[in-house]
Amino acid sequence: MYMTNHVAFIGFGEAAIAFVNGWDRAAIRKISAFDTATQWPESRNTKLKDYAAAGVEGCDNLEAAVADAGLVFSLVTADQAASVAQAVARHIKPGQYYLDGNSCSPNTKRRNAALIEAAGGHYLDVAIMAPVHPARHQTPLLVSGRDETAMRDIFAALDMNAEIVEGGVGGASTIKMIRSVMIKGLEALSAECLLAARQAGVDRTILQSLANSYPGFGWQEQSGYMLERMMVHGVRRAAEMREVAATIEELGINSAMTRGAVEWQQQIGELGLAAETDAFGALADSILKTIHHT
């Protein structure tokens, strides 16, 4: 399929790398990428190594990355999604497809779509519905937009696990945002409960009680995993949860729980702690020690 001859990425982080490493590269002639991490001395070399390891052409600016690409994936943090859409709209050519895979509210996606389509591009609302490892390019996606046939053809050509959602742009992101109330909110609620339990010295009792009440969840393992995710991705998750809160409020629903999750995700993410294990006790102690010394 000609559109997959050249695929570009704006933002080359965990999701982009996972997709690229999963694809059959025989179907793709060229992959280009631009990530703002290359503009900062402290992160430039690491990102250049990411490009080299994935076998993609790293570009020094957004315009070079998207030039002549049939498909342009935007995979940045939620708070940068609108500015990236504005920048791409200045360079996108008629016929190019813009795949907005960022965790944004439906209204943010619709505004981004208006910019891209006014410039002659085609906009797809893409929602990534699970961690990208280990499934990589086969991670479940929801996709919505104007042209269902094109959407099916594009993701079939890339061998990606995409389900088409009706309702046009905003359909996929609505589901993603509302689901995140529970997924990212559970992380934050668990952090508040279990860090307090660890501080009080009753974490084993609390975890056992939760296991008795909700058997099969695997509280010991999941509590460590959820803390690890917040430590590594908390700032990005907080940006997403602000978009979730906007979605909830646009529906006329109180977003107090989601706003609380924003605070916890941001706080733990900003600690900048290395998550060298997924053991709950060690992670909790690391977080508590840092909180009490700041």
pTM for the whole thing? 0.93
The DSSP symbol for 40 reads S
Q: How many domains does the chain have?
A: 2
| Final residue in a domain of this structure, among 149, 168, 187 | 168
* Same domain flag for 270 and 287: yes
Q: Are residues 216 and 74 in the same domain?
A: no
Quick one: CA dihedral 188, 141, 17, 221, positive or negative?
positive
The verdict on 256 and 143 lying in the same domain is no
145 and 191 belong to one structural domain: no
Same domain, 130 and 202: no
Domain termination residue (choose one: 107, 139, 168): 168
My answer on whether 162 and 185 are in the same domain is no
Q: Are residues 22 and 137 in the same domain?
A: yes
Same domain assignment for residues 269 and 182: yes
DSSP 200-262: HT-HHHHHHHHHHHSTTS-HHHHHHHHHHHHHHHHHHHHHHHHHHHHHHHHTT---HHHHHHH
Are 134 and 23 found together in one domain? yes
Q: Distance between CA atoms of 209 and 232, rounded to whole angstroms?
A: 28
Question: Where residue 250 sits, what CATH number does that domain have?
Answer: 1.10.1040.10
Whether 178 shows a pLDDT value over 70: the answer reads yes
Mean pLDDT, residues 87-95 taken together: 96
140 preceded by a cis bond (ω within 30 of 0): no
**What is the rounded CA–CA span in Å between residue 73 and residue 66?**
9
Domain range holding 181? Answer: 172-292
CA-based nearest residue to 28, from 61, 56, 51? 56
Of 4 and 225, more confident: 225
Residue 197 pLDDT > 60: yes
For the chain, the straight-line distance linking the first and the last C-alpha, in angstroms and rounded, comes to 54
Closest CA relative to residue 206, chosen from 148, 123, 198: 198
Task: Check whether residue 250 and residue 272 sit in a common domain.
Answer: yes
pLDDT confidence of residue 294: 67
Q: What is d(CA 272, CA 241) in angstroms, rounded to the nearest whole number? A: 19
Q: For residue range 2-55, what is the model confidence (pLDDT) as tens digits?
A: 578 999 999 999 999 999 999 998 889 999 999 999 999 999 999 999 999 999
Q: Are residues 184 and 283 in the same domain?
A: yes
Please tell me whether residue 27 adopts helix, strand or coil conformation. helix
Task: Indicate which CATH number applies to the domain containing 110.
Answer: 3.40.50.720
Of 141, 168, 195, which closes a domain? 168
Do 207 and 139 reside in the same domain of the chain?
Answer: no
